[in-house]
Structure 1
Amino acid sequence: MTIIKKLVTLLRGSARELGQSVVDGNATRIYEQEIVDAKHSITEAKSELATVMAKEMQTARDMERLRGEIRRHEDLAVQALDKANEGLALEVAERVAGLESELQAQTEAHANFAMQVARLKDLIRAAEAKVREHEREIGIARTTESVYRATQSISDSIGATGSNLVSARESLERIKKRHEDLADRMAAAEQLDQEFGHKALERKLAEAGIGPSDKARAADVMARLKARREGGQAASPAAPAAAPTPNGQGSSAS
């Protein structure tokens, strides 16, 4: 018997945990539905408020009508007294008393309706403010849940491809190392050429003042250009002599 009770308790606990997990898994959806239900209730409350407000307006009209009837009957009673007809005046006075009783009842009903209208308006305003607050909260909750899902997706993706990322990073490091080695070898070759190669010999000759330099070559070019210019001027033809006249003498100025 004790075992059966424990099994029943276990089943109840499992059902409670299952129900709680279902509620937690659909908390956002349940919350949204509760907001929808609250909006529907507010709509119904507004409809009821309209009904109460209509009754308030009806009682206000009835009160105005009764006041007019009371004034009219009071005038009739006065007219009956003026004609010394006290019996008729008394009958009219009884009618006035009935109208006043009805007016009092309508006044109380009107005050009651006005109080209900004010209270319902306050409740509706408070409910609408609460609904707006819950709508803001559910919006934040949806956004937060989306961010959590995206973060979880990224984490799962990185976890699933972690080894690939590590391998790619290692390959990149090896490529960078090869590039560094190549740059170092090129720099070393340039340095060796400066110390032991053809460039080294030219540098040593230049430092010793041996061999043509840029200035010496420029001087040679300049001397060659000057000699070429002078030779050109010496080879240019002289001015032509005066042409002889027919008698063999040069022409003279007259």
Structure 2
Amino acid sequence: MSMWKQLSALVRGKSHEAGQSIADANALTILDQQIRDAGTAQARARDDLAGLTAKRRMLEKELESLAAQRDKYEASARAAMQRGDMDLARQVAERLATIEAEGSTKQPQIAEMRAAEDRIRGIITQGDGKIEALRREVEVVRANESVQRAQAAVASSYGQQASSLGSAADSLKRIKERQLVREEKFRAAAELEDMRTGADLDAKLRDAGLLPGTSSADDILARLAGPSGGEPLRLPGASGDATPTSGDPARLPRQ
């Protein structure tokens, strides 16, 4: 039995939490509807007040009419008494008694209705003030909610942008690494090709000045420092005679 009570309490608790969560998520909508309901109730109260005021004014008019009848019948009763017609005077007096009794009944009713009007008018005024204050508070809460939603959106967007920038930076790093790997592959392939063709060995011999037809910088300096100052530089195929023969057209000077 205790277990069933606990399960029942758990179900009621979960239902309460779910209902509270829904109410919190729609708090502004609920408040707006409650304000509209309160405004509708205020409008009904004003209609009731207007109806009460109209009835009170009708009673006042009836009381005024009774007062006019009283004045009229009092004058008639005096005239009948002056004439000595006491029977007629008594009939008029009975009518006056009815009028005065009716007036005595209506007078406190009018006073009560006036008091009720003042009380209802004060309640309506207080209700209007509370509704207006609540409406302003709801507007402030709604504005804060909008600002906070915008801030949350900006924060979420910033987080997404930061994540995107991080992903882009990682991609760029990987691209650079692939490019470096390609460059190393190209360099290694070129070195292997030079080794296959002997170009790397020729380059080493050329740098050492051991390749035929080449001279190193040290060889040139040594030649220039020799006793004869070095031999003049001759182009391949040139002879010692600088004057071309007339028989060879290729050796004739250009005009």
After TM superposition, the score normalised by the length of structure 2 is 0.63
When structure 1 is superposed on structure 2, of 59-68 and 150-159 the one drifting more is 150-159
Residue 160 of structure 1: how far off its partner (Å): 2.2
- Provide Cα deviations, 1:171-195, integer angstroms capped at 9, x if missing partner: 9xxxxxxxxxxxxxxxxxxxxxxxx
| Distance of 2:57 and 2:12 partners within structure 1 | 57
Matched residue of 1:153: which SS?
Answer: helix
| Distance of 2:11 and 2:63 partners within structure 1 | 67
> How many residue pairs end up in the alignment?
171
Q: Which residue of 2 aligns with 1:113?
A: 113
Residue 72 of structure 1: how far off its partner (Å): 0.7
Q: Which residue of 2 aligns with 1:156?
A: 156
| Distance of 2:162 and 2:49 partners within structure 1 | 63
| Distance of 2:27 and 2:11 partners within structure 1 | 24
- Structure number with the bigger relative contact order (C-alpha 8 A, sep ≥ 6) is 1
- Provide Cα deviations, 1:8-57, integer angstroms capped at 9, x if missing partner: 11111101111110111110100000000000001111111111011111
- Aligned pair 1:48/2:48, yes or no? yes
The gaps in structure 2 that reach 5 residues or longer are: 173-255
- Aligned pair 1:16/2:16, yes or no? yes
Residue 93 of structure 1: how far off its partner (Å): 1.1
Q: Which residue of 1 aligns with 2:61?
A: 61
Equivalent residue runs for 1:5-154 within 5 Å: 5-154=5-154
- The one-letter amino acid paired with 2:87 is G
| Distance of 1:89 and 1:20 partners within structure 2 | 79
Residue 113 of structure 1: how far off its partner (Å): 1.4
| Distance of 2:163 and 2:89 partners within structure 1 | 111
After TM superposition, the score normalised by the length of structure 1 is 0.63
The alignment-based identity, stated in percent, is 32
| Distance of 1:130 and 1:124 partners within structure 2 | 10
Equivalent residue runs for 1:169-208 within 5 Å: none
- Provide Cα deviations, 1:70-102, integer angstroms capped at 9, x if missing partner: 011111111111111222212211211111111
Matched residue of 1:149: which SS?
Answer: helix
The gaps in structure 1 that reach 5 residues or longer are: 172-254
- Provide Cα deviations, 1:197-246, integer angstroms capped at 9, x if missing partner: xxxxxxxxxxxxxxxxxxxxxxxxxxxxxxxxxxxxxxxxxxxxxxxxxx
Residue 109 of structure 1: how far off its partner (Å): 1.3
- The one-letter amino acid paired with 2:9 is T
| Distance of 2:8 and 2:168 partners within structure 1 | 56
Matched residue of 1:133: which SS?
Answer: helix
| Distance of 1:139 and 1:105 partners within structure 2 | 51
| Distance of 1:68 and 1:3 partners within structure 2 | 82
Matched residue of 1:161: which SS?
Answer: helix
| Distance of 1:44 and 1:50 partners within structure 2 | 10
Matched residue of 2:84: which SS?
Answer: coil
- The one-letter amino acid paired with 2:122 is D
| Distance of 1:167 and 1:40 partners within structure 2 | 57
| Distance of 2:163 and 2:133 partners within structure 1 | 46
| Distance of 1:81 and 1:164 partners within structure 2 | 113
| Distance of 2:57 and 2:163 partners within structure 1 | 79
| Distance of 1:128 and 1:2 partners within structure 2 | 51
| Distance of 2:127 and 2:98 partners within structure 1 | 43
- The one-letter amino acid paired with 1:66 is L
